[in-house]
Amino acid sequence: MNRSKMILLTAVCALLVLIASSGILHPRRTNTIHSSDEIAPFILNGKNDEQPIMKINNVGRSAIIKQHLDQREEVTHFHHNKQDTSHYLDHEVAVNFKSMPSDKELEQMAKDINGRMIKRDGLLFLFRSRDIETPKVLEYFQAKSNVDFAEPQYLLMQNGFEGANALNLPNDQLYQEEYQWNLPAIGTEKGWSISKGDEDIKIAVIDTGVDLDHPDLSTRLVEGYNILGENTNPDDDNGHGTHVAGIIASETNNREGIAGLTWYNKIMPIKAMSAEGYGTTFDIAKGIIWAVDNGADVINLSLGNYKESSVLKRAIRYAYNNNVVMIAAAGNDGSSQPSYPAAYPEVLSVSAVNNDGTLAEFSNYGNYINISAPGVYIPSTYFNEQYASLSGTSMAAPHVAALAALIKSANPELTNSEVVTIIQKTARDLGKKGKDIQFGSGLIDVNKALITAADAHSTREKVNEKRNYSQ
């Protein structure tokens, strides 16, 4: 065999892109995805199993709900006595008029309170100010002769379990049973008060496909593609892609399974890897391009290889130039060797952390790490309509992909680079002070990131208003 053929054979071998996580439950260092002694994922329950009845401490739940309210910046509480408190949303007031105000009068009121009218029902209107406190907004409306009454936007809690729903506490079974340590660890519940997502912002999962019939995912999907079969049936025959998709967008608040990080964003399933858990750079690249051309806003790549590829790099560049946010897993070999596509500058590279904030033993590290997220014993959906707990940087990456989608939902005008900047700047510092080789900028913080995104949106609105007013 001559030298050119040898080089060609080597290049073809390098095209295999191995999944960044083998779904390990016990950290093992390996350069392959599958081996004869591979430990199977811990199946939480199968499709034929009867789910146990939830036992809820409703009195304790009520106390937890109040604690959540007390900690939310946009909620104000006052004491009726030493024990009892009431809560209302700050900057919002409900106003009932005696007669219908004109459009011009409504516009003037919104301008006077530096806000807008957000809901109406007959003569009852809900106003929200951008920066004026509730008592001041109440004074403004109560002084008007045409106002029947004006009051704060109070928060009412039912004495039953459903009262948790208004406070962003899902009723999903595995969430209620506290399997999902990953959500509170990154401030997810607080972040939901700002954005639960937008179905117009789509996340492409380029992987082994997604279980299209899974009860926790079937309503969360848009049309996808099977690169391998060249058809529109990207069903999962491995389990990895279904697990990744569930972390991002499993049906939330449906009393079963897990809660996804986003309630409303949709998953675009793209099958570019086989049942064995690997795919070529050609197929991965084709999947990226298909996702971009079909409207993906975020792409999750829980896969990787240590060899750079011009084919893959070209697709990455195409997605970046089309304003798509790309997230990739760093790899599971406990190595500092750069993994691709994670190491490309256009991609946000994610390492995995334990529930104590330390770097997972299996997680790769290095100068190319941008951010970290939970990646150990993460429960999620699994193929054949099951649920399973897996570990890996493959599980860490979709946390960041979901956050990117939530940020875009809160502020659709942001560019991909601005989304990445927000994720990194709002991260909670771990390890050595500042950016380091283990955690990058730190652990993602959903709440802080969404606050920053919403503030940026409000600032742009004010600038546009001033510009329009000056014209």
The answer to the question of residue 255 being in a domain is yes
Residue written as token pair 């939330």? 252
57-66, 341-350, 358-367, 428-437, range with the lowest pLDDT: 57-66
> For residue 460, what pLDDT band results from cuts at 50, 70 and 90?
low
Residues 6+ apart with CB under 8 A from 196: 168, 252, 262, 263, 264, 406, 409
How far is residue 406's CA from residue 411's CA, in Å, rounded to a whole number? 9
* Type of residue at 245: A
> For residue 467, what pLDDT band results from cuts at 50, 70 and 90?
low
372 forms bridges with which residues in the sheet? 351, 443
Most confident of 25-39, 103-117, 165-179, 452-466: 103-117
Range of the domain at 19: 15-26+171-459
The answer to the question of residue 32 being in a domain is no
DSSP 45: E
Tell me the pairing of strands 278-280 and 85-97: unpaired
Q: What is the CATH number of the domain that holds 410?
A: 3.40.50.200
Active-site residue among 240, 389, 399, 441? 240
How far is residue 161's CA from residue 65's CA, in Å, rounded to a whole number? 11
The tens digit of pLDDT for each residue in 88-104 reads 778 888 889 999 999 99
Active-site residue among 172, 207, 235, 236? 207
**Catalytic (active site) residue 240:** yes
42-46, 278-282, 455-459, range with the lowest pLDDT: 42-46
**Catalytic (active site) residue 207:** yes
Q: How many domains does the chain have?
A: 1
The answer to the question of residue 466 being in a domain is no
Higher-scoring residue by pLDDT: 282, 448? 448
The answer to the question of residue 229 being in a domain is yes
Closest CA to 257 of 382, 375, 381: 381
Residues 6+ apart with CB under 8 A from 18: 31, 32, 33, 277, 278, 303, 304, 305
Active-site residue among 129, 394, 409, 441? 394
Closest CA to 238 of 375, 12, 34: 34
The answer to the question of residue 282 being in a domain is yes
The tens digit of pLDDT for each residue in 361-405 reads 999 999 999 999 999 999 999 999 999 999 999 999 999 999 999
